[in-house]
Amino acid sequence: MKHVYAFSNVALYKPATMDSYRDIYPPSAAVDGDKTTAIHSSTEVSVPYHWWEVDLLNSYTITSVTVTSRDCCPGRFRNFTIDLTSDHQTAAPVTQRCHYYPASFASFVTITIPCDQTLTARKVKVTMDSSDDRPLDINEVEVKGLHVCGNHWLQFTLDSGLKRSETPLLQTDVESIPACADRCREQINCDAFQTLTSSSTVTCQLFTGRWGANISDSNWKYYSFSG
């Protein structure tokens, strides 16, 4: 079996900063792997926008950002932008938008937000309009990324006639096999997927890990990140 670079949460334990914060809610709490801790911008600072940013310390290909809201104050975290900043050594860094989220979060929910396009960046920034004095407070931020040195692993390898027999991470119906591949890239724990095509739809199953228990089945197509 060949070694493969897989997508993972590349923000975990990385250095984080924000425009302001209350002492018991430091910016590092959003990347500590604990969804019961939170960040909270200072209520003593009046600014048009609050922001939080994580430095991934290396350049990564990023497909999605997953956010967990706090277990209080439903609707307070809303209308925010996720921006990605590149890490150029010989030129000024370039900032591109991952996604603008024009809605609110309920209490203590985790939502994965796919980037509008796959981007390469070193820093991930969440910016929220605070003109109505709303603080920026969330519990956790996860960034699904792949180190740029592993970009040649972005393609999938097909094992036709192989069916992974264990319980999938997620099963859904999609319109095509490429759409299933996109679902895998969006899910932070997905390393492989398999499809069953019928006359009207494609059954899409996502899996954690490249390999697992499997059986021969000519009706299924199994794809894993390739080396």
pLDDT band at 88; cut points 50, 70, 90: low
Q: What DSSP string runs through the chain? A: -------EETTTT--EEES---TTS-GGGGGSS-TT------TT---SEEEEEEEEEEEEEEEEEEEEE-SSSTT-SEEEEEEEE---SSS---EEEEEEEEEE--TT-EEEEEEEEEEEEEEEEEEEE-TT-----EEEEEEEEEEGGGGGG-SEEEEEEEEE-SPPSEEEEESSHHHHHHHHHHSTT--EEEEEE-SS-EEEEEESSS---EEEEEEEEEEEE--
> What is the pLDDT confidence band of residue 90, given thresholds at 50, 70 and 90?
very low
Q: What is the mean pLDDT of the chain?
A: 88
- CATH architecture for residues 155-225: 3-Layer(bba) Sandwich (3.50)
Residue 91: per-residue pLDDT: 61
Evaluate if residue 150 carries a pLDDT over 80.
no
In the predicted model, is pLDDT for residue 152 greater than 50?
no
Q: Which CATH class is domain 8-151?
A: mainly beta
> Any idea where the domains of the chain sit in the sequence?
8-151, 155-225
Give the pLDDT score at 226: 62
Q: pLDDT-based confidence at 117, cuts 50/70/90? A: confident
Higher pLDDT, 98 or 187: 98
**Identical fold at 8-151 and 155-225?**
no
Average pLDDT of the segment spanning 186-209: 89
